[in-house]
Amino acid sequence: MAIEMVFVSLAAVAAAPAVEPQCRNSVFEELIEEGLAVAPDGGKKLALPRPSMPEGASAAEQRKIIAELPGNRPYDDMVRNAIVAPFAMRIEEVENPAGDPLRRVDVWFIAYGRLPQFFDERQAASLVQWAATDKKSSVGAVLSADDLRRLSIVPAAGNRVREQFIFRQGVLFDRVRVGATYRVMTTLEPNAVVIAAVIDSRFNEDEKYPNYWQSIPESGEPAVRQKYVTAGAYCKVSPLLEPKGAIFVEQHFLFAEPQGWFRGAPLLRSKLPLAIQDSVRQLRRQLRTGADASSEPVEGK
């Protein structure tokens, strides 16, 4: 689900990869063009929004886009080189008569660093990272070649493209356990890094890495597992023309929140703003490990 997929956090800094022809991010293209299947029979699809920051935007155009983000925070405040600089966020409920209720989350913020820092295999795993309330129960695994061979899957790989299959499982509010295997594709383009993820339906009934959710009653005995297949997200990272070193990060998520999870209570919505804030600040801290020490600002300023 998308709470699993919330928020980029950089685990390590990678060296710039060698130059090779631009590679297509087919997962990203599917999410913004064809859309995510949101009905049990796969007949209805909803697309994620296209990126807010277009390729080739001028400095003035970039400034206007940032100034008009939700919340209308002053441009100079948004681009401030500080851990605690603000971020923009929008959370929407999406009607879905054909299936489970849907929730869409959009996040935008500015960080400082180098574009290749986002092209790291652990960065992709962060896009499907749990914001679980019971972190002791949260587990994850990058599927091995042997795991993928069982389903005849050969992931794409290259200097500028990386495809991974990542399983995440965790518990939310001691009420529901969710597990899913995501197909995650990362591409380093001439002027952007794109990370896109979607639950892979080929693992719906997999014995080792299934896509499921199950209620956890007060008795402690888990209920029967239910299939969980509707979640997609992408993150696009684009350098700004000014200020120097500034990077525009946008993340867009769409996921199902079955009625059986919390009986309609807004538990996830109430948790999201703080989880987003923590993740944005964590990313900014980690990016600084690759910056020149002389350019690092004092935290909070």
Whether 227 has a pLDDT exceeding 70, the answer reads yes
Give me the chain's average pLDDT, please. Answer: 82
Residue 168 has pLDDT above 80, yes or no: yes
Confidence class for position 138, pLDDT limits 50, 70, 90: low
Residue 128: the pLDDT is: 60
Q: How confident is the model at residue 271 (pLDDT cuts 50, 70, 90)?
A: confident
What is the spatial distance between Cα 238 and Cα 190, in angstroms, rounded to a whole number? 10
What pLDDT, on the 0 to 100 scale, is given for residue 299? Answer: 43
pLDDT at 190: 84
Max mean pLDDT among 85-99, 229-243, 256-270 falls in: 229-243
Helix H or strand E segment including 134: strand 134-142
What length does the chain have?
301
Whole-number pLDDT of residue 27: 95
pLDDT at residue 127 in the model: 60
Q: What is the pLDDT of residue 24?
A: 83
With contact defined as beta carbons under 8 Å apart, do 208 and 168 qualify?
A: no
3-state SS class at 171: strand
Residue 231: which pLDDT band, with cuts at 50, 70 and 90?
very high
**Closest alpha carbon to 161 in 119, 203, 199:** 119
Locate the domains of the chain by residue range. Answer: 26-292
56-65 per-position pLDDT tens digit: 999 999 999 9
Instruction: For residue 103, give both structure tokens.
Output: 């929730």
Give percent of the chain with pLDDT exceeding 90: 51
3-state SS string over 220-283? CCCCCCEECCCEEEEEEEEECCCCCCEEEEEEEEEEECCHHHHCCCCHHHHHHHHHHHHHHHHH
Q: pLDDT per residue over 30-45, tens digit each?
A: 999 999 998 877 778 9
Contacts of 36 by beta carbon, 8 Å cutoff, 6+ apart: 45, 46, 47, 48, 198, 230, 231, 232, 254
Range with the lowest mean pLDDT among 99-113, 160-174, 190-204, 284-298? Answer: 284-298
Residue 17: what pLDDT? 39
The Cα 201–Cα 179 span in angstroms is: 13
Provide the pLDDT confidence category of residue 216 given band limits of 50, 70 and 90: confident
Report pLDDT digits (tens) over 79-129. 999 999 999 999 999 888 878 889 999 999 999 998 888 887 665 556 665
CATH architecture of the domain with range 26-292: 2-Layer Sandwich (3.30)
Residue 3: the pLDDT is 46
Task: Give the residue with greater pLDDT, 164 vs 174.
Answer: 164
> Which positions ≥6 away from 169 have C-beta within 8 Å?
130, 137, 138, 139, 140, 177, 178, 179, 180
DSSP code of residue 138 = E
Q: Give the separation between CA 279 and CA 141, rounded to whole angstroms.
A: 20
Q: Does position 228 have pLDDT exceeding 60, yes or no?
A: yes
pLDDT tops 50 at residue 20: no
More confident of the two residues 269 and 25: 25
